[in-house]
Amino acid sequence: VGLQSAATEKLKAKRNLLDKVSNLLTNMLSGGRIGEMPIAEGAVSDLFTRPLFFKLYDWFLELGSVYKLAFGPKSFVVVSDPVVARHILRENAFSYDKGVLADILEPIMGKGLIPADLDTWKQRRRVIAPGFHSSFLEAMIKIFTDCSQRTISKFEKLIEGECHNGATIELDLEAEFSSLALDIIGLGVFNYDFGSVTKESPVIKAVYGTLFEAEHRSTFYIPYWNLPFARWIFPRQRKFHNDLKVINDCLDGLIKNAKDTREEADVEKLQQRDYSSLKDASLLRFLVDMRGADVDDCQLRDDLMTMLIAGHETTAAVLTWAVFLLAQNPSKMRKAQTQVDLVLGKEKLSLDCIKNLEYIRLIIAEALRLYPQPPLLIRRSLQSEKLPGGYKGHQEGYEIPAGTDIFISVYNLHRSPYLWDQPNEFEPERFLRSKTIECIEGWKGFDPSRSSGSLYPNEAMSDFAFLPFGGGPRKCVGDQFALLESTVALALLLQKFDVELKGSPNDVKLVTGATIHTKDGLWCTIKRRTNKE
Ligand code: HEM
């Protein structure tokens, strides 16, 4: 039986390889058939000299909002058009899969929601999405507050250590936000306290190692790690597999514990959405309790791993860029602090407070507009079809064959001069205004009243011009978790401290993989606020 299953596995691996080769060939052969699409000739050096999304922006201005990017035999269609993005992400979502992204992430996330095939995705999305209901999010606000408070206490202690009034400290805030977001995702998703704000541990190191590898892979569009013996040829691959094992062992322990401690009383509370007296309000508790003991451990582990990776660096990046932008705009920093003082005062932070922190919410949205995480969404067409026409030189729309790899450039959409006034300026108030543009056929324009009750600007109010969490059925499942988390952390930080950049903004160099982050950290000077209302 063992030999038989090994032979079946080998056969499967061969079939996968053949599928990949045939996809590559389809792409190569289809290259010339993508209508009259303008072509950008990319050099391999474009992948290494500066983040690719900068170059994609230049080509967007030069070639229009749908063009083909050719790297030797490999080609991608780059979309920077809200109507075409809406078509791919929402109207015709199931004619696309995650293509290259699934190749990259499947070895890490298995059958987690992001790389999952359609059948698995449908089944798991139905189970996971209800876990993010409003009572869960309200319960999370306490975790967001407690974890932010830990970061604040750490800063206060460092300031006290300076022993004189008005002391300042210098810190890499990107690293601090990364620790904060890791602690929050650990507690919120699987009730595990990484405690990374204050300590190092093998699990924390393994999480960063895995993120590093995921990042590295996402800048390589050829899956070299699938080569036979990759684990033996590349030492980094060996380290990656060791890191993965450390995290998986940790997650397996947490899943076992959640199953062993399942109690009917908790199940009833969860069914009634009563989180007030639950000791463990995590998503894992919900997934185990609501589905009974029959949940497949391997699938659960993939789900948790996916959320750990998807929800950690992304949120840390939003906070990093929000502070970077505020530090360059002291009057906006002052306005934000005034609102925080007014709303929070001595009150405990609650959902009602967040409803009143409008300016902080808009700052988070504006940071996501200027620095979207990830800057590109990746899809592959499963069948040939005609994309809708949009604007700027391709009113007719283009035919694309099955197997076409697509980058939806969220960065281009968010900084499009055709969609936004002064697109590169930091102006949180822009989301309060309506706007229509006649020259884009089929685009409804911006209308804040169309946000479907959301506290934050979203793709609905902008008709797919603002896509911080994607859109359509595969939209981010943790969007509200992330938005509330960032709002709480930023508000509490601004309540206590004044923050300035240590050097010039131009010294902050960008690098990108799955997220846009800094090359050498976001070094800031921090001091206690003296100008409180
Ligand atoms: C998907 C962004 C936080 C879990 C996505 C997508 C985007 C995104 C753009 C869509 C990807 C695509 O269409 O290809 C962000 C940003 C975040 C954030 C900017 C923080 C500011 C989180 C958090 C979690 C999470 C906190 C979980 C706790 C997921 C999952 C998916 C996803 C599971 C896949 C959804 C599906 O395919 O059904 N995220 N995310 N994300 N995100 Fe997030």
In this structure, what are the phi and psi dihedrals at residue 385, rounded to the nearest 5 degrees? -165, 170
The angle at the Cα of 268, spanning 265 to 271, to the nearest 5 degrees, equals: 150
Nearest CA to ligand 1 atom 1: 476
Residue whose pair of structure tokens reads 């199953």 in the numeric block: 259
- Cα separation, 137 vs 113, in Å, equals 20
Q: How does strand 516-518 pair with strand 96-97?
A: unpaired
Q: Break the chain down into helix, strand, coil percent, rounded to 5.
A: 60, 10, 30
**Which residues share a beta bridge with 130?**
none
Q: Which residues contact 464 (CB under 8 A, 6 or more apart)?
A: 82, 83, 85, 86, 89, 90, 413, 471
320 lines ligand 1 (CB under 6 A): no
Q: What is the ipTM of this complex?
A: 0.99
The whole-number pLDDT of residue 27 equals 43
Q: Which residues contact 363 (CB under 8 A, 6 or more apart)?
A: 322, 325, 326, 332, 336, 428, 490
524 is in an annotated binding site: no
Tokens of 299: 């699938």
SS (H, E, C) 128-158: HHHHHCHHHHHHHHHHHHHHHHHHHHHHHHH
The whole-number pLDDT of residue 463 equals 94
Atom of ligand 1 nearest to the CA of 368: 19
Nearest CA to ligand 1 atom 16: 314
110 lines ligand 1 (CB under 6 A): no
306 lines ligand 1 (CB under 6 A): yes
Nearest CA to ligand 1 atom 42: 476
514 lines ligand 1 (CB under 6 A): no
Q: Is 402 helix (H, G, I), strand (E, B) or coil?
A: coil
The whole-number pLDDT of residue 211 equals 82
Q: Which of 366, 409, 476, 483 to mutate to test the pocket of ligand 1 (most atoms within 8 A of CB)?
A: 476
pLDDT one-digit tens code per residue, 414-446: 999 999 999 999 999 999 998 877 778 888 899
pLDDT one-digit tens code per residue, 165-186: 668 899 999 999 999 999 999 9
CB atoms within 10 A of CB 531: 9
The whole-number pLDDT of residue 32 equals 37
pLDDT one-digit tens code per residue, 238-274: 888 899 999 999 999 999 999 988 888 888 888 888 8
Contact of 184 with 143, CB cutoff 8 Å: yes
Q: How confident is the model at residue 2 (pLDDT cuts 50, 70, 90)?
A: low
Contact of 444 with 347, CB cutoff 8 Å: no
- Cα separation, 75 vs 31, in Å, equals 7
114 lines ligand 1 (CB under 6 A): yes
Q: Answer whether residue 49 shows pLDDT above 50.
A: yes
pLDDT one-digit tens code per residue, 360-385: 999 999 999 999 999 999 999 999 99
Q: How much distance in Å is there from the Cα of 121 to the middle of ligand 1?
A: 14
CB atoms within 10 A of CB 7: 10
The whole-number pLDDT of residue 441 equals 80
Nearest CA to ligand 1 atom 23: 311
Peptide linkage before 468 cis (omega within 30 of 0): no
The whole-number pLDDT of residue 237 equals 81
Atom of ligand 1 nearest to the CA of 471: 13
In this structure, what are the phi and psi dihedrals at residue 66, rounded to the nearest 5 degrees? -135, 115
The whole-number pLDDT of residue 514 equals 79
H-helix segments, 430-478: 459-462
- Burial label for 232, CB within 10 Å (0-12, 13-18, 19+), is exposed
104 lines ligand 1 (CB under 6 A): no
- Cα separation, 512 vs 329, in Å, equals 24
The whole-number pLDDT of residue 207 equals 87
Q: Which amino acid is located at 8 in the chain?
A: T
Higher pLDDT, 319 or 41: 319
The whole-number pLDDT of residue 19 equals 46
516 lines ligand 1 (CB under 6 A): no
Average pLDDT over residues 450-466: 92
Contact of 16 with 391, CB cutoff 8 Å: no
H-helix segments, 161-282: 173-190, 202-218, 230-233, 235-260, 264-271
**Which residues share a beta bridge with 518?**
510
481 lines ligand 1 (CB under 6 A): yes
Q: Is 214 helix (H, G, I), strand (E, B) or coil?
A: helix
125 lines ligand 1 (CB under 6 A): yes
Average pLDDT over residues 123-140: 94
CB atoms within 10 A of CB 237: 18
Contact of 183 with 193, CB cutoff 8 Å: yes
Q: Which amino acid is located at 124 in the chain?
A: R
